[in-house]
Chains A and B, each alone.
Chain A
């Protein structure tokens, strides 16, 4: 669900941008090494040699765009959240239990100690990078926030599709990331032309189960210990 909203936002942004400048759209199909549709992949386009200078219209990613990583049903939603650099992310706790959200990632280290409801301030992610989010009292709860450098990024949906609109045509470095990737995929480059562009990417991942809330109560701790071997970049 959240993905749709993101996509909608992106599409909206793309529309705005494309009103003033020539724009390309990129449709990316993400699969895993076996050819299955892969969701939760982040694709980022980093401009290398823009064909046309950007207009004065600054691409301002609305810092006021609302990003949230909520805790609901004792898991993080979304599993992978892509935000631009400098974005603020809210961490609303929609559960009845408190969560102690934390991250020790280099990109952002923070703690939201045992709270319920919404915190006062959102967390600002000012550094590009990867932030692994965990909950101190629920070991299994995991999520990732991809802080992108470039404005052109998105997360693949359930069918592994990404739509990037209003992208100025030109040459871009394509970076792809998946939380379960075995090794960091090599970045490729693409020249985006005006109009629709297609791209197919593949990431070799180590299949895991997405965090899901265990039956509440005591004696289910074995599930948590199986969620291991996740590499952080």
Chain B
């Protein structure tokens, strides 16, 4: 900026100077021309007086050479002329002080008589320039022209310089020689002479350095040629000095300003940019999650910014801490949550000893309903704080979810300690003025039992299994036993693999014949599922059906059973065999109002009679949604599908259900039948049951008959159908049909 300004000013000044100089020079040259014109006028006037002198006229009139030349000389001296000539009226030379005038010279001089304008004529003779004036000699008529020449010498130059203030050089150049008369010092004159050829170009134009350090312009003194020049030299020195002074001053100012600016910038940098850098670094570090030391000592506004950044960082920090805390702690109780518990366990259990204790509040849901959610939450909070306050103090106390808590005791806690602990734990809690008593269940894991500290999941699972064990066996405390995990895992596997097993054909149906002992004819069979698991082998249907019911997968089993059974029936139908197959339906199935129609449709579409299929249900199925189940069963009845109730005698209120349910058939549980031939009580029960059932107009099936005597007894008791090993174990379809046909053929009904 500074530099630009300086440059502009300097160049403008230089231009201005040059303009002034040029102007000065132009004025000077105009003045010089004017001076020559004036000189012309004066010389003319002088000469005219001289030419009117009677003596002069008389001398000229004599025509005598000597007289004439002497009078010319004389009178010439009077007016300080350097040359004098006399021409005849016709222009011939009468006399001349200049020797060797050529015809051209003479004609040139004579021409001066023609146009006697006020401008000057400079005559070139013998390497000298003369300002010539001519006047007529009239006596009384024109008898001659007298001309006087005044050399352009140093005096003229000096005079010119005095008037114009500018140095001047008169240059007379011919082919072989250049003469210079100048007010310049000799050295400069040489310089000018050295640049002679340039001078011709500079006529009426301003040029530099002729000589060096001068601004010059040239005037042609001779109209006909460039041989006679007057060169005016305007010295640059004064201007140059002025300009230099100005330039130096400007440079000085510029330098000082620069320096000042620099110093201020440096001071600023120290005071401003450093803190800014500091801030930038601070912010960056905060962004990267670091905790850099706070900035102190910055200038006011920056310090405010620095402080704000520090506060911001602290806020971020605390929020981060909050988040971390929240991610690790349970909201309600403030205990560690499951995630944190796992992490901490892996840290704490570098040395594998102690006990992992999982505590569960009994019937917490029930409690929730009674005292309300808010109070239940308060209870949990109190429970948690009590856990923290009891001794021995657990290494880790965490709330896993809902009402289950996980604690780590290192060193371990023995039974007595635990009893004590639990007793204190289950002291009543004061909630809203009431005393609430809780009961807990505990699942324990003994950590010294060779656990891997990297496998926390297994530890927790074992604790859960133990807790589950306690729950199931209604114990307060259960410790994980070896193998339970295996069972647990097994059950998991079964549940997991069931759908795959169905699609992969790991399951198949088997049929156990139901023999009408009164007619000794087999009319049908009950179909049961068998599962051959690739890893687990044969899985008891009780197990997997129970697990399926628990895990909600029962419907896929039922569906499969239904479809497979129907297909099998259809096949048998085509073979000309007709029989009734009973399938077991689950409680879940019976809540589907669409099911009866679907089954009917299935039968129809497979060209099977309605009687081809019958269903068996357990009384447990009815327990859930009695109304819907009854409606569905009724629907089955309406369609014409026979219904049997299973496991009679073992349920809670079999008799009530008999009244409620639209069944056709009742199946007495095997537990009564098995020892019927030996046990009198069983016999009695069975007898009574049969009477009861028959009294209700229902048919009776006895399950689990294993001996032939049993058959007889049951026949006598009026039992209708027997299903049991005594006839056949459950058989695969093909095997069954073989037995079926064989039996029916060999046992002609009576």
Contacts and interface: CB of A to CB of B under 8 A. Distances in A.
Contact of B141 (A100, A102, A109, A142): A142
B140 interface: yes
Interface in B43-88: 48, 52, 54, 57-58, 61-62
B142 A139 contact: no
Given A109-B61, A139-B52, A229 B142 contact: yes
Contact of A141 (B57, B89, B140, B143): B140
A84 interface: no
Contact of B139 (A134, A227, A229): A134
B443 interface: no
A232 interface: yes
Nearest to B136: A228
A228 B139 CA distance: 10
Given A139-B52, A231-B89, A104 B142 contact: no
Contacts of A139: 52, 138, 140
A187 B143 CA distance: 24
A230 interface: yes
Nearest to A232: B141
Interface string A202-233: 00000000000000000000000101111110
Given A104-B57, A139-B52, A228 B138 contact: yes
Given A139-B52, A231-B89, A132 B61 contact: no
A141 B61 CA distance: 18
Contacts of B141: 132, 134, 142, 230-232
Contact of B140 (A133, A225, A229, A231): A133
A102 B143 CA distance: 14
Contact of B54 (A136, A225, A229, A232): A136
Contacts of A192: none
A109 B140 CA distance: 13
A82 interface: no
Contacts of A231: 89, 141-142
A139 B135 CA distance: 15
Contacts of B58: 102, 104
A32 B143 CA distance: 25
Interface string A114-151: 00000000000000000011111001011000000000
Nearest to A140: B140
Nearest to B113: A229
Nearest to B52: A139
Contacts of A227: 138
A142 B140 CA distance: 6
Contact of B143 (A100, A104, A133, A142): A104
Contacts of A135: 140
A231 B136 CA distance: 12
A100 B54 CA distance: 10
A230 B57 CA distance: 16
Query: For B52, B57, B139, which residue has the most chain A Cβ atoms within 10 angstroms?
Result: B139
Contacts of B140: 132-135, 139, 141-142, 230
A139 B49 CA distance: 12
Nearest to B48: A225
A166 to B, nearest CB: 34
Contacts of B142: 228-232
A229 B113 CA distance: 11
A232 B144 CA distance: 10
A229 B116 CA distance: 13
- Highest count of chain B CB atoms <10 Å: which of A109, A141, A227, A230: A230
Nearest to A233: B141
B48 to A, nearest CB: 8
Contacts of A133: 140
Contacts of A225: 48
A135 B141 CA distance: 11
Contacts of B57: 104
B94 to A, nearest CB: 14
Q: What are the 9 tightest A-B residue pairs by CB atom distance, in nearest-first order?
A: A134-B140, A104-B61, A230-B141, A232-B141, A142-B140, A136-B54, A132-B141, A104-B139, A228-B136
Interface of B: 48, 52, 54, 57-58, 61-62, 89, 136, 138-143
Given A104-B139, A132-B141, 13 more contacts: A104-B57, A104-B61, A104-B62, A109-B61, A132-B139, A134-B138, A135-B140, A139-B138, A228-B136, A230-B140, A230-B141, A231-B89, A232-B142
11 contacts: A102-B139, A104-B61, A104-B62, A133-B140, A139-B140, A141-B140, A227-B138, A228-B136, A228-B138, A228-B142, A230-B141
Interface of A: 100, 102, 104, 109, 132-136, 139, 141-142, 225, 227-232
